[in-house]
Amino acid sequence: MKRLGIFTCILLMISLMGCGGGADDVETDISTGQASSQQKDRDEAEEPVQQRPKGPPEGWIKKISFSKQLGKEGTALKFKVETTKPLEENQYLSYIYWKNQEKIMETPLNTLPPTAYKKGDLVYVDVALYQEGQILEQRRSEILQIENSSPVIKEVKIPEIDGPGVYRIMVKAQDPDGDKINFSLTGDPVPEGLQIDPHSGMVTYVLGENPPPENIKFTITADDGDKGITKKNVTITFDITRPEENRERRKS
């Protein structure tokens, strides 16, 4: 009987040890009767992870690039977005434009009008992917510093030249940035009798009594003083085969 009692006690101790490591057991601080800090950490770690809203995977917006043709008046700044897959029906892109770290507009259009920026501004865009009114992904473009735009020579208006006299050639030019334009003439060499007003661009041509050559060639240069230079080649062709007819037209 004594041996049987000892054996029974041993079995009871083994049974208690086996139950002590169960998954549902809670470690208790003997002094307070509350769960220990280690037990709390394990409980928090086992809490279910919140699921993200259903949508495209990370990196859906692959690349944001921009294009701006310098030297052409009225050219807008256009952003192009490359994506990893096409948009779904309930998804759309929104463009949030920034200039010099200040938000200037949010629009579904990927084009920033030229009136919204000027030379020297720092421009960038945040592209946001929306689905059912919620942003699923947002990415920022690189920062673009707006460079100087070259002047634009819109028109060179050559009058009818029918004999000796003083003729004025109108030059219409404009600088997209509003810079002051300086004009000059170049040639190989500059034809005799040609002059240009450096401020207005007006070209004056004095044709003498001597018969002119078959044609004259020269170049009008517009310089904005900020490395923006535009050149326009001009050719004036004379009809020297009928000098008598030209002289009669001049008299009438």
Q: What is the pLDDT of residues 192-231, one digit of tens each?
A: 999 999 999 999 999 998 888 889 999 999 999 999 999 9
* CATH-assigned architecture of domain 61-145: Sandwich (2.60)
pLDDT digits (tens, 9 = 90+) for 150-161: 999 999 999 998
Mean pLDDT of 162-166: 90
> For residue 124, what are the β-bridge partners?
98
Task: Please state which CATH number belongs to domain 152-251.
Answer: 2.60.40.10
Q: Are 85 and 55 in contact (CB under 8 A)?
A: no
Whole-number Å distance between alpha carbons of 95 and 125: 6
The Cα–Cα gap between 173 and 71 comes to 12
Helix residue ranges, H only, the chain: 2-19, 37-45, 243-251
pLDDT per position as a tens digit, 66-89:
876 543 455 788 999 999 989 998
The per-residue pLDDT for 73 is 52
Taken as a whole, the chain contains a residue count of 252
Tokens of 64: 């944001």
Q: What is the pLDDT of residue 244?
A: 54
The residue ranges of every structural domain in the chain are 61-145, 152-251
* Radius of gyration of the CA atoms of the chain, in A: 41
As a whole-number percent, the residues of the chain with pLDDT over 90 amount to 50
pTM for the structure as a whole: 0.60
Write down the pLDDT at residue 76: 83
Burial class (CB in 10 A: 0-12, 13-18, 19+), 81: middle
Tokens representing residue 7 in the block: 């054996």
Range in 146-150, 177-181, 238-242 the model is least confident about: 238-242
235, pLDDT greater than 70: yes
pLDDT of residue 163: 87
Share of the chain above pLDDT 70, in %: 69
Tokens 């952003």 found at: 79
The domains spanning 61-145 and 152-251 adopt the same CATH topology: yes
